[in-house]
Amino acid sequence: MSIDIVEEIKSLKKQKNVLLLAHNYQDPSVQQLADFTGNSLELSQKTSNVDCDIIVFAGAEFMAETAVILNPDKTVLIPSSAVKCPMAYMLSPEKMNIYKKRYPNASVAVYVNTTSETKSMADVCITSSNATRIISQLENDQILVGPDRNLAWYIQQKTPDKEIIPFPDVGHCYVHRKFTSSDIERQKLKHPEAEILVHPEADPSVQKLADKVCSTSGMIEEARSSKADEFIIATEIGLIDRLRIEFPSKTFLPARQDAICIQQKKITIYNLYLSLLKDQFKIQVPSNIAKRARLAIERMIELSS
Ligand code: 13P
Ligand code: SF4
């Protein structure tokens, strides 16, 4: 007997009082079942004060860990145990220690794309959508920022009064690193009227060609409010699916077809179904680390509003 997997997922969600959250890069088949889809900041905000028994997180593991840290008494599940963003492991606690000692007067701001242990050693977390707002509110003039060097470059452009010190040797997203200025120029030649939207994880040479550098949800907002009909999009291609569904009368052109986050694409409706059925895979964060990481995440949420 075959089962209707979509109906099964809907019914398990109801039966188990589940909140299903999905990142903007998830496949549309997963996004359409989610209670909320958003960027990494919006997803963290959604997980503070939630009324449900189980949170199922369709996104990267670092995002699900944030949900655990903010909801220590709730069960947080991720449908695949392999959604580990490589960037999140590029800033180790050992490197944090070395550079915190080298720059004793600097505040430490870490991207949410980090492990819980790294977050527990930071003063504040940042995402691509709130980074400049948060950094400009910090008291210290020197700010250590990592792991993503391109995001650090972007923040420096937007906050010239601060000295942004990227953690040396570390930090990039292999998906966003694929974009080159020729990718953008090629598309622009074919579509001269198109507005260029670039994620701050892309190389500075690509950011410099953008009409707007913004987070994934920033791109959705720009597509909604802009008068342009065509957009060249330099971020993971999953966002383009969402843009095409939400704005069917507008045209979205990927800067590259191969900008695919293979980790985030490991989540499917099949493992989502199994996750709901078998309560797998449970995300856990040791309580001593969670307690300290929570301070950096809560400070981020407070400074974002
Ligand atoms: P956003 O915060 O823009 O959703 O980005 C998260 C991410 O992992 C980008 O690669
Ligand atoms: Fe990590 Fe890049 Fe995937 Fe985002 S797109 S989750 S930064 S690997």
* Ligand 1, atom 1: closest residue by C-alpha: 39
What fold is seen in the domain 176-254? Rossmann fold (3.40.50)
Tens digits of residue pLDDT in 96-130: 999 999 999 999 999 999 999 999 999 999 999 99
CA distance 95 to 282: 28
pLDDT digits (tens, 9 = 90+) for 183-211: 999 999 999 999 999 999 999 999 999 99
Distance between CA atoms of residues 223 and 217, nearest Å: 10
pLDDT attached to residue 1: 62
- Residue with structure tokens 């997922």? 9
Q: How far is the CA of 201 from the centre of ligand 1 (A)?
A: 8
State pTM to two decimals: 0.96
Report the residue among 128, 151, 175 best suited for mutation to probe ligand 2: largest number of ligand atoms under 8 A from its CB: 175
d(CA 63, ligand 1 centre) in Å: 10
Q: Which fold has domain 5-83+264-285?
A: Rossmann fold (3.40.50)
Q: What is the pLDDT of residues 239-292, one digit of tens each?
A: 999 999 999 999 999 999 999 999 999 999 999 999 999 999 999 999 999 999
The matching CATH number, chosen from 3.30.9.90, 3.90.550.10, 3.30.420.10, 3.40.50.10800, for 87-172+290-304 is: 3.40.50.10800
**27-50: burial string, b at 16+ Cβ within 10 Å, e else:** beebbebbeebbbbbbbbbbbeeb
CA 292 to chain centre: 21
Tens digit of each residue's pLDDT (9 = 90 or more) over 14-60:
999 999 999 999 999 999 999 999 999 899 888 877 899 999 999 99
Q: Specify the domain boundaries for CATH 3.40.50.10800 within the chain.
A: 5-83+264-285, 87-172+290-304, 176-254
For residue 86, give the ligand nearest its CA. Answer: 2
**With contact defined as beta carbons under 8 Å apart, do 113 and 88 qualify?**
yes
pLDDT of residue 39: 93
**Dist. CA 39 → ligand 1 center (Å):** 6
Residues with Cβ within 6 A of ligand 2?
A: 60, 85-87, 113, 173, 175, 236, 261, 263-264
